[in-house]
Amino acid sequence: MRPVSVLVLSLVTLLLGAPSLVRAQTASQTASAVAAEGDFAALVDIGGRSLYLECRGSGSPTVILEAGFRSRADYWTDDLIQPDAPRTMVFSGVAAFTCVCAYDRPGTTTFFDGVLQPSRSDPATMPRTALDSVHDLHALLQAAKVPRPYVFVGHSYGGMLARLYASTYPGEIVGLVLVDAFSEGLEDWMTPEQWTAYEAIFQPVPEALAGYRDLEFTDLDLSVSQVREATSASPLQPIPLIVLSRGQVMEMPADLPGGLTGEGLEQAWTLEQDRLASLLPDARHVIAHESEHYIQLQQPEIVIEAVRDVVAAVRAPSSWATPATNS
């Protein structure tokens, strides 16, 4: 398998996650309530549709990995940077100390040697909203009997979904790791004209995906409104929270519309990362100095360590007393 350039990924995603270049996998079975029985990879019926779910490891709390926009679950499992000499990636690294699960949202993708591999989950009507995805995941975890409580790890758009899940089902989540997460507050750092332009560019259809009719789309304005309403009504509970932010500037095209600039977007992103890290008074903010947007690909060990720290704090709350340092 050919390695993936981080620059190429950056240009495709425009800040919100990307289709990943990974090995093709297929669900070999359909199941509705077996995830709690051990290592597991199958389609799970959530009531008329099935979603692909993969779990490994044992122990509590269960870690749930939420990928970025249009990215399949294998985004957490395969070494896209150096596939010929793979490192320990987030999924297998976390499975060494607790149960971990990842899944495919409808319309997500991956590529293998330039060939598009669609989501292993059943299609859904597009565009969707953030709340649609959160309800899907809740139904999936219930149907598969994935044991609670959960620590959520969300990358990019998946970070906003993780926070929305925490406000919608606050009794289920006991820890949170945000991996260079997109946030509804990004709009606050832009002019109305810039936000309108951003909405138009954040989910373009690259030529390679033009034939994928079930591709993931989201109603960004409605999704942002849903997150604002939910987090206002039910703010994040006092749980262990680690915000991982990129330390390197993400490459952006020079010809952005609506008065947008790469420098301006980077500044807005940084300010919003700081705001996310202030959501709880004892949250930790870790800068991945050798990473752009894809921290889990460039420095997977930092994500694994952050998850380990949050899991340890859930198991022994006193372990959260020592602040983390930037990596």
- Structural domains of the chain, ranges and CATH numbers in brackets: 6-319 (3.40.50.1820)
What value does the mean pLDDT take over residues 240-253?
93
CA–CA distance, 162 with 185 (Å, rounded to integer): 15
pLDDT attached to residue 95? 98
pLDDT score at 35: 57
* Predicted pLDDT at 115: 74
Q: What residue type is assigned to position 216 of the chain?
A: E
Closest CA to 234 of 226, 245, 242, 244: 226
Cβ proximity of 70 and 216 under 8 Å? yes
| Residue range 194-208, pLDDT digits in tens | 999 898 888 888 888
Nearest to 42 by CA among 24, 23, 27, 58: 27
Tokens, residue 131: 């709340």
pLDDT of residue 80: 76
What lies within 8 Å, CB to CB, of 322 at 6+ separation is none
- Residue 251 pLDDT: 84
Which range scores top for mean pLDDT: 185-194, 246-255, 304-313? 304-313
Tokens at 83, concatenated: 């596939």
CA distance 296 to 155: 8
- CA–CA separation, 216 and 237 (whole Å): 30
Predicted confidence band at 12 (pLDDT cuts at 50, 70, 90)? very low
Tens digits of residue pLDDT in 106-150: 999 987 667 788 999 999 999 999 999 999 999 999 999 999 999
Check: CB of residue 90 under 8 Å from CB of residue 176.
Answer: no
pLDDT at 323: 56
Average pLDDT (145-159) is 97
Write out the two tokens for 120.
Answer: 């292993």
Q: Are 217 and 126 in contact (CB under 8 A)?
A: yes
- Is 70 exceeded by the pLDDT of residue 3? no
pLDDT at 21 over 60: no
Q: Identity (one letter) of the amino acid at 90?
A: V
Give me the residue label for tokens 């779910």: 53
Q: What is the mean pLDDT of the chain?
A: 88
Statement: residue 209 has pLDDT above 90:
no
Q: Is the distance from CB of 13 to CB of 156 less than 8 angstroms?
A: yes
Q: pLDDT at position 255, please?
A: 84
Q: Quick one: which of 295, 251, 259, 318 has its CA closest to 76?
A: 295
| Alpha-carbon span 164 to 228, nearest angstrom | 9
Of residues 151 and 20, more confidence is placed in 151
Whether residue 36 is predicted with pLDDT greater than 80 in this model: the reply is: no
Instruction: Kindly state the average pLDDT of the residues 209-214.
Output: 90
Neighbours of 206 (CB within 10 A): 13
